[in-house]
Amino acid sequence: MGAPPRLIALTLAALLALGVAAAGCGESSPAPSGGGGAARGSEEASEKAEEAAQERAEQARNRELLSQIEAKKQEEAAEANASKREKAAEAKARAREKASREEAKKREKAAEAAVKKREAEARAKARQHQEAAQAQAEARKREEEAKKRKPAPRKRSSGGGGPNQTTQFTPGG
């Protein structure tokens, strides 16, 4: 497994710094050389540049994580909304289905009531016809019995019982 490039860069910078420091210690001149200060300055600059690069990389990772978190939140919110809409649609469908069943029951009861009413009317009409037929039969029977009891009609005297003659009706006679 290879070492990460950042670790290699840090190791090289540290070795360079040690090498420069060791080279600076070997000199016997009492005056500080300008080359040693430049090496320290470049070492500090490279450390600062590396820190800045690390910071930028960390910020980029943080932005990416934040972006992923936001995307996940949006996805979860969308799923929750979809679930909520689906449940509402199911509830609405159940309510429509229930209303439809109740309406069908009402229509069925109304149809049954109408059938019962027609049957009752038909029975009443049949009863009336039967009663009327019985009444007619009884009336005919009475007429026949009356004819049988009634003696043959008498002929009227020659009083002129013509068609233009009026007779007065007297009850009981």
| Inter-residue contact 10 to 50 (CB < 8 Å) | yes
Q: What is the pLDDT of residue 44?
A: 87
Within a domain: 66: yes
Q: What is the pLDDT of residues 144-160, one digit of tens each?
A: 888 888 765 666 655 55
Answer whether residue 52 is part of any domain. yes
Those residues whose C-beta lies under 8 Å from the C-beta of residue 46, and which sit 6 or more positions away, are: 13
3-class DSSP assignment, residue 113: helix
User: Given a cut of 60, is residue 110 above it in pLDDT?
Assistant: yes
Is 160 a domain residue?
no
- Residue 141 falls inside a structural domain: yes
Per-residue pLDDT band at 29 (split at 50, 70, 90): very low
- Number of structural domains (the chain) is 1
Residues 49-75: pLDDT tens digits? 999 999 999 999 999 999 999 999 999
Report yes or no: 41 and 4 within 8 Å, Cβ to Cβ.
no
Structure tokens at 73: 């939140």
pLDDT at 161: 54
Q: Are 20 and 39 a contacting pair, CB within 8 Å?
A: yes
Domain range for residue 113? 8-19+35-148
Mention every residue, 6+ apart, whose C-beta is less than 8 A from residue 159: 165
pLDDT digit string (tens) for 7-24? 677 766 666 666 655 555
169 domain residue, yes or no:
no
- The answer as to whether 95 is a domain residue is yes
User: Domain for residue 88, yes or no?
Assistant: yes
Q: What is the pLDDT of residue 135?
A: 94
pTM score of the predicted model = 0.38
Give the span between the Cα atoms of 17 and 21, in whole angstroms.
6
Which residues contact residue 36 at a Cβ distance below 8 angstroms, ignoring those fewer than 6 apart?
20, 24
Spatial contact of 43 and 13, defined as CB atoms under 8 Å apart: yes
Residue 94 belongs to some domain of the structure:
yes
Q: What distances in angstroms separate CA 23 from CA 18, 19, 35, 88, one per listed residue?
A: 8, 6, 10, 80
Which residue stretches of the chain are H helix? 5-26, 34-149
